A and B are shown apart, each in its own frame.
Chain A
Amino acid sequence: MTPSALEGLIQALRCLPGVGPKSAQRMAYHLLQHDRKGALQLVAALNNALEGVRHCQRCNTFSEQDICDRCSSPKRDASLLCIVETPVDMNMMEQTLAYQGLYYVLMGRVSPLDGMGPRQLGLEKLMERVLDGVVKEVVLATNYTNEGEATAHYLSTLLAEKGIRVSRLARGVPVGGELEFVDPGTLAQAFRERRTVDE
């Protein structure tokens, strides 16, 4: 019979995404049999992270300080605020090297059928952040899914009332995209949202 402490470890490992009973068992045996040192490091790292990581007071992303490095950087343009759904989305925006402003991470999205509304998203905190007197333009970079679109609509309506300029990421044919291989939904929307070419 499996000792109960081992059983407990297997159960605990199953909380990880993609880890079923089989992989959890393999991980537990591996840690106890071959890598006790690694297991101790894991414990310490988990403890550290749990104690040290919280949400940045300004951009709401994970941070070890009250205000993260990006938010306190003087090189950033504080008049631009980009709103994204998750920290991963923020990293993607950063990789573009095209954006020099600041961020706000919602840590979710509005999803009417899942009972996920503005209250659950903590939009009060966002409004406080936007109305700091420095932000002039908000760039809505929520996903182009129905939920992302619903979130963007909420935010744009709220912010427009406060006299803040609101823009939304453009959507359409990808860079280097050949029409032949673009999915028809994207192409259809790119046509509907076509722009006049300015000289």
Chain B
Amino acid sequence: MPRGKADGQRAYVLHTRPYRETSLLVEVFSRDYGRVALLARGARRPRSALRGLLMGFQPLELSWSGKGEVLNLIKAEWQGGQPLLMGLPLFCGYYLNELLLRLLPREDPHPFLFERYAQILLHLGQSPRHQVAEADLRCFERALLGDLGYGLRLDRDWQGAAIDPGAAYRYEMERGPVGLEAGEAGGWIISGQTLLDMARDDYSRPVSRSEAKQLMRRLLAYYLDGVELESRKLFKEFQEL
């Protein structure tokens, strides 16, 4: 596929920034080209056909062409079927977008992750306004890390032995679960059952939800190299208000 040209490519807007007087710089996540930076000329003019269309969390079909790092958006079409995100699910959506913007390199196709993202957005669109969709966030984080090549080791420990649901482990970066020695205490531990639940994307147990959240937070902090996510900072501020 020539990189500078796409026609009717399924994509979602991740973020937009004003550019010059009437244009927009748009970061999109497309199915076959991954994350792409596009320039939407005149998109901020009052009567622009693109106005209101280049909105995050909505499935679009985009066409673009050009050379260089930023390509020219030629056409955008609304696909539909995705309810608008409102309330806390909207903040969850921002979190997904920020993870993609920070961790996904430009123009690296991730069709599997794209489909997962679309599914999760759909689910977020149907979630209650006052609930954080924890399970959706965990599923996405796992899919993202897996697709980037940082896949989690969840059903076997670091030596290859099957995970024992009744045992306790500690998760070591780039190594996986390490069984705790008898009497070994302290630090941060995760139960075998949680690891197995995560492997099945099953977050129905509250214990699994909270342990998985901690594990993911530590893993992401590692891969984000200390960068603090704006969406999470804001969410914390919100809870404190």
Residues of A with Cβ closer than 8 Å to B?
Answer: 17-18, 110, 112-115, 117-119, 123, 145-146, 149-150, 153-154, 157-158, 183-185, 188-189, 192
Contact = CB atoms under 8 A, between A and B. Distances in A.
B86 A113 contact: no
A117 B80 contact: no
A189 B84 contact: yes
Nearest to A124: B241
A158 B241 contact: yes
A153 B241 contact: no
B223 interface: no
Interface of B: 15, 21, 52-53, 55-58, 78, 80, 83-88, 90-91, 93-95, 97-98, 101, 129, 230-231, 233-235, 237-238, 241
Contacts of B90: 146, 149-150, 153
A123 B112 CA distance: 41
A104 B231 CA distance: 25
A153 B88 CA distance: 8
A161 to B, nearest CB: 9
Contacts of B94: 112-113, 146, 150
A112 B52 contact: no
B8 to A, nearest CB: 16
Given A118-B238, A123-B241, A146-B90, 20 more contacts: A17-B21, A112-B91, A112-B95, A113-B230, A113-B231, A115-B233, A117-B233, A117-B237, A118-B234, A118-B237, A118-B241, A146-B85, A149-B85, A153-B86, A154-B238, A183-B53, A184-B78, A185-B53, A185-B58, A188-B80
Nearest to B27: A113
B91 to A, nearest CB: 7
B56 A146 contact: yes
Nearest to A188: B80
The 9 closest A-B pairs by CB, nearest first: A112-B94, A18-B21, A112-B231, A117-B234, A115-B230, A112-B234, A153-B87, A146-B56, A117-B237
Nearest to B237: A117
